[in-house]
């Protein structure tokens, strides 16, 4: 191989390397993977009733998700606003717990769930389209999973 050919090969390889490096740097870095559960309740349930309270929250949140999802499949859904979804949550909690307040025993859990719902769903109580309904279902399923994880 002549010196001219060798120099041309070296310059070509250097140009290719620079081009690949430039293209790699121009691409956005990959997004970090989404967490499996966007809410964590680990360490937030405290006291003698912690495991029982976590199990109750798990079951309650999962059932509320199922109810909201089922209602959305009906021809004329009963739950049509954010206020209605939240009222279902409040009523279900009051009826299931027979007036007993898990929140008074588990204030850290209440704060974590409230912050999660406000950030994931928002605070609008207005009309809820299918997308908003889906967010409520997802939120309650995630709360149920987080409570189940916390009970372990």
Q: What is the pLDDT of residue 17?
A: 54
Query: Mean pLDDT across the stretch 35-43?
Result: 77
Q: In this model, does residue 83 exceed pLDDT 90?
A: yes
What's the pTM? 0.73
Number of domains in the chain: 1
Considering the domain boundaries, does residue 78 fall inside one?
yes
The rounded distance, in Å, linking the Cα atoms of 136 and 69 is: 9
Structural domain boundaries, residue 72 = 50-151
Considering the domain boundaries, does residue 10 fall inside one?
no
Residue 116: closest CA among 15, 39, 2: 39
Considering the domain boundaries, does residue 88 fall inside one?
yes
* Predicted confidence (pLDDT) per residue in 120-150, tens digit: 998 888 899 999 999 999 999 999 999 999 9
The rounded distance, in Å, linking the Cα atoms of 129 and 135 is: 10
First to last CA, the chain: 70
């Amino acid at each position: 191989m002549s010196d001219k050919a060798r120099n041309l090969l070296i310059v070509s390889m250097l140009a290719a390397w620079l081009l690949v490096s430039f293209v790699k740097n121009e691409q956005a870095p990959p997004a970090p993977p989404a967490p499996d559960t966007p809410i964590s309740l680990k360490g937030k349930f405290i006291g003698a009733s912690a495991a029982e309270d976590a199990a109750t929250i798990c079951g309650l949140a999962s059932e509320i998700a199922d109810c909201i999802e089922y209602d959305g499949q009906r021809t004329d859904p009963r739950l049509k606003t954010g206020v209605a979804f939240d009222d279902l949550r409040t009523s279900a909690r009051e009826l299931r717990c027979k007036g007993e307040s898990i929140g008074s025993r588990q204030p850290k859990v209440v704060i974590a769930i409230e912050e999660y719902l406000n950030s994931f769903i928002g605070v609008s109580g207005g009309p809820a389209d299918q997308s908003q309904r889906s967010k409520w279902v997802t939120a309650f399923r995630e709360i149920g999973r987080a409570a189940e994880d916390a009970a372990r």
